[in-house]
Amino acid sequence: MPRIKKQTFQAPKGMRDILPEEQVYWDKFFRVAHHLAEDYGWQKIETPVVEQAELFARGTGQTTEIVTKQMYTLRTSGGDRLALRPEGTPGVMRAYLENGLANMPQPVKLYYFGPMFRYEQPQAGRWREFFHFGVETVGEAAPVLDVQIIQFCFHLFRSLGLKKINVQVNSIGCQQCRSPYRRALVDYYRYRKNKICPDCQKRLKENPLRLLDCKEEKCQPVKAQAPAVIDYLCEECHRHFKEVLEFLDELEIPYFLNSALVRGLDYYTKTIFEFFMEDEAGALQMVLGGGGRYDNLLKEMGGKPTPAVGMALGVDRIILAMRKEQVRVAPAYNPKVFLVQLGDMGKRKSLKLFETLHQAGVIAAESFSRDSIKAQLKIADRLGVKFSLILGQQEALDETVIIRDMQSGVQETVPQLKVIDEIKKRLAKK
């Protein structure tokens, strides 16, 4: 009889488990980001992980790589074509339109956190399931709102212990000034087609602005000499960008003008920016996130023309940076008391005492499955707790508890009714 091979399961390629040892960094990130976003006036919104695929095609752009190569799509039994969200902004804007948020006082300020999905080759800091934290300010066109988002990100990075942050900014103008720039860019690249990669030859026909986003080494000399979009800005876009830079100067936020910065999505207008992590020598290591203004997106999605600006941060990469920089994080589990139990009656009473301790705000650890007092005290010592509470058969009958000072080894028996007050008093002195 042939031997049946035992099946083993693994996480899908490009997806992974986030284990407890890493969760402390995720908890710190979300705790800091959540409180800071609300301090800045953004309110949390959650949108479905699955949306109509056409939402991303229309919002993100039909010719972007996200839509053409990276989206996870599916057909329902009813024939609907859905997609796992590759980014957050289109879903938030759909919610803005669908739920009548345009009728609220403007601007509407929203933030979100959650998983995104893109089918691309996994590498360090890049996963097929990844997490974004983003903010969106919808309903106002003032340049100060662009800068407030950059200011928020710098504040967040600093609060997370990341100091070597480089922000690069550019303006890609509006539809009025982008047309002449597009023509100039196409004319420039047309005579250099043999010097660029096959993908860029395709972009030249379909989406010329994406030529400036190419990372292929072959294309870099050509890209370096390409016309700069900032030289083609109309008067309104020039004024807007000038004010953005003046606000950044006033805030003393260090920035770099990058005329080749275009971002990878079609909906951007005017201000765009990206945040990079630097190494000790000041060289750019990886993009931590970015964003910009998208004044035409809501109109493209069937709404009224509505100015908006936002950003998204790659949380996976930020966690990677925090670990690389050895940012200190408090342990998620830090008990001060350990509950030691002996015998059936002691175990029953200990379960009740365990709940009473937690209701009183005293976080206690335990090892109820073990019977040996030596083994339990060894665990208590490893956890570094200040006190152990020992409850055996005799203590259960006497309605007492032994308090053991783990540093000195001194033990004292106290009534069960007074153990909470006594342990709080002793912890306050430690």
The C-alpha atoms of residue 212 and residue 264 are separated, in whole angstroms, by 10
The pLDDT tens digits for 107-159 are: 999 999 999 999 988 887 889 999 999 999 999 999 999 999 999 999 999 99
Instruction: Name the residue ranges covered by the structural domains of the chain.
Output: 20-174+234-324, 337-429
Edge-to-edge, what's the strand order for the sheet holding 400-405? 364-366, 337-341, 387-391, 400-405, 411-415
Contacts of 311 (CB under 8 A, 6+ apart): 134, 135, 149, 153, 273, 289, 290, 291, 292
Model pLDDT, residue 293: 96
Query: Which pLDDT score is estimated for 214?
Result: 83
pLDDT value of residue 4: 65
Q: For residue 410, what pLDDT is reported? A: 93
Fold matches, 20-174+234-324 and 337-429: no
Structural contact between residues 93 and 59, judged by C-beta atoms closer than 8 angstroms: yes
List the alpha helices (DSSP H) in 216-363.
220-224, 235-251, 297-300, 315-324, 343-359
- Give me the pLDDT at residue 2, please: 61
The DSSP letter of residue 68 is I
Query: What is the distance between the alpha carbons of residues 94 and 301, in angstroms, rounded to a whole number?
Result: 8
356's CB contacts (< 8 A; 6+ apart) are 420
Q: In the chain, which stretches have pLDDT less than 50?
A: none
Q: Is 308 exposed, middle or buried (CB count within 10 Å of its CB: 0-12, 13-18, 19+)?
A: buried
Amino acid 198: pLDDT: 87
Burial of 420 (0-12, 13-18, 19+ CB in 10 A): middle
> What is the b/e burial string over 381-395, where b = at least 16 CB atoms within 10 angstroms of the residue's CB?
eebebbbbbbbbeeb
To the question of domain 337-429 being in CATH 3.40.50.800, the answer is: yes
Q: How far apart are CA 399 and CA 417, in angstroms?
A: 8
pLDDT, tens digit, 9 for 90 and up, residues 398-430? 999 999 999 999 999 999 999 999 999 999 887
**b/e 122-160 (16+ beta carbons within 10 angstroms → b):** eeebebbbbbbbbbbbbbebebebbbbbbbbbbebbeeb
> Which residues, at least 6 apart from 154, have a Cβ–Cβ distance to it below 8 Å?
165, 167, 253
pLDDT on residue 284: 66
Which three-class secondary structure state does DSSP give residue 376? helix
What residues contact residue 263 under an 8 Å CB cut-off, 6+ apart? 172, 213, 272, 274, 290, 292
Superfamily, domain 20-174+234-324? Bira Bifunctional Protein; Domain 2 (3.30.930.10)
Q: What pairing do the DSSP bridges indicate for beta strands 165-171 and 255-257?
A: parallel
- What is the pairing mode between strands 81-84 and 108-117? unpaired
3-state secondary structure (DSSP) of residue 155: helix
